[in-house]
């Protein structure tokens, strides 16, 4: 069964600190892995996308890593800001007969406090 | 970048009424659009896949007669919640897959539905 699990479920950090969110997946056949940021009451916005051959991808203060052997990914946020408070969703794309299917994680709710 | 819009952004209705939500791809064509539902503190749950010019494909457990989907053009899909009940209150999000790609999707901003 295709699954994406994220940890922690929620996280509180102080402004300026770094944090790392985890994503483990059992998805086959794997196509790519994406991290999305979802602000409360808004739709998800893509942060990074990585294919099987990519180990790391950065987008400003966001850096995602992918270990395709262990089927793990992480999202590292550097020098957090109050605006980073949001849910971060790991989404794995599975190849499925011509079009891919997206498998969503439950998300990590990050709160950045001043 | 590609933009997907939803209208309305929020709606409050009485129990028993029907509500229509529109999803538009503003600067690209989308042969396929997806409708998701998201309850508080939960992730997105796929409800149905909407293909332009054909019937939608519904996920298991989603009532097709209650959630009517129409995808009349390459830039517009609509979701109609018929005879809405309070348990239908949720955040509805659409996404659109760029025509010619296998999984390049962009999400709309969502529609908050509250049924009284």
User: To 5 degrees, how large is the angle CA B111–CA B113–CA B115?
Assistant: 170
pLDDT over threshold 90, residue B100:
no
pLDDT at B1: 66
pLDDT value of residue B51: 87
CB atoms within 10 A of CB A7: 12
Contact flag A45-B44 (C-beta cutoff 8 Å):
no
- What is the C-alpha separation between B36 and A12, in angstroms, rounded? 28
pLDDT of residue B101: 79
Among the partner residues B43, B45, B91, nearest to A89 by beta-carbon distance: B43
Per-residue pLDDT tens over the stretch B14-52 = 999 999 999 999 999 998 999 999 998 888 999 999 988
pLDDT digits (tens, 9 = 90+) for A47-98: 999 998 999 999 999 999 999 999 999 999 999 999 999 999 999 998 877 6
How much is the average pLDDT of A20-40? Answer: 94
pLDDT, residue A109, reads 96
Check CB contact under 8 Å for B4 and A106.
no
More confident residue, A1 or A33: A33
Question: Are B106 and B33 in contact, with CB atoms under 8 Å apart?
Answer: no
Residues with Cβ < 8 Å from A70, sequence gap 6 or more?
none
Q: Which of B42, B91, B106 sits opposite A106 (nearest CB)?
A: B42
Percent residues over pLDDT 90 in chain A? 82
Chain A interface with B: residues with Cβ < 8 Å: 31-32, 36, 41-46, 89, 93, 95, 98-100, 102, 104-107, 109
Residue B17's pLDDT is 96
Name which of B35, B52, B47 is nearest B110 in CA terms. Answer: B35
Among B103, B109, B112, pick the best mutation site for testing chain A contact (most A Cβ within 10 A). B103
Q: Tell me, what's the pLDDT at B54?
A: 85
pLDDT band at B78 (very low <50, low <70, confident <90, very high): very high
In this complex, the residue of A100, A104, A105 whose CB is nearest that of residue B103 is A100
Buried-state track B17-47, b at ≥16 Cβ within 10 A, e below 16: eebebbbbbeebebbbbbbbbbeeeebbbbb
Tell the burial category of B74 from Cβ atoms under 10 Å away from its Cβ (0-12, 13-18, 19+). Answer: middle
Q: Does residue B102 surpass a pLDDT of 80?
A: no
If one counts every other C-beta atom within 10 angstroms of the C-beta of residue A86, the result is: 20
Q: Is the pLDDT of residue B65 over 80?
A: yes
- CB-CB under 8 Å, A104 with B44: yes
End-to-end CA separation in angstroms for chain B: 37
Instruction: Work out the minimum CA distance from A60 to partner chain B, whole angstroms.
Output: 17
Candidates A10, A44, A49, A107: best to mutate against B (most CBs of B within 10 A) is A44
B55 or B78, which is more confident? B78
Q: Answer yes or no: do B109 and A45 touch at CB < 8 A.
A: no
Cα angle B37-A107-A22, degrees, rounded to a multiple of 5? 155
B16: left (phi over 0), alpha (psi -120 to 50) or beta: left
Q: Per-residue pLDDT for B103 more than 80?
A: no
Residue B103 to residue A106, Cβ atoms within 8 A: no
Phi, psi for residue B104 in degrees, rounded to 5:
-80, 105
Q: Do the Cβ atoms of A43 and B110 come within 8 Å? A: yes
Q: Do A43 and B93 touch (CB under 8 A)?
A: yes
């Amino acid at each position: 069964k295709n699954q994406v699990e994220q940890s922690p479920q929620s996280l509180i950090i102080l402004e300026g600190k770094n944090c790392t969110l985890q994503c483990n997946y059992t998805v086959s056949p794997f196509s790519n892995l994406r991290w999305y940021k979802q602000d409360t009451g808004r739709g998800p916005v893509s942060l990074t996308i990585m294919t099987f051959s990519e180990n790391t991808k950065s987008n400003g203060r966001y850096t995602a890593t992918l270990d395709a052997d262990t089927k793990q990914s992480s999202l590292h946020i550097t020098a957090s800001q109050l605006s980073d408070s949001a849910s971060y969703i790991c989404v794995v794309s599975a190849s499925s007969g011509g079009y891919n299917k997206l498998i969503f994680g439950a998300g990590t709710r990050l709160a950045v406090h001043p | 970048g590609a933009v997907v819009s939803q209208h309305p952004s929020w709606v409050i209705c009485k129990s028993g009424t029907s509500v229509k939500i529109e999803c538009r791809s503003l600067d690209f064509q989308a042969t396929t659009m997806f409708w998701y539902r998201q309850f508080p503190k939960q992730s997105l749950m796929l409800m149905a896949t909407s293909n332009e010019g054909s019937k939608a494909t519904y996920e298991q457990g989603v009532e097709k007669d209650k959630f009517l989907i129409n995808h009349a053009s390459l830039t517009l899909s609509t979701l109609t919640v018929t005879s809405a009940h309070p348990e239908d209150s949720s955040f509805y999000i659409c996404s659109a897959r760029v025509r010619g790609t296998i999984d390049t999707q962009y999400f709309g901003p969502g529609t908050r539905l509250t049924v009284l």
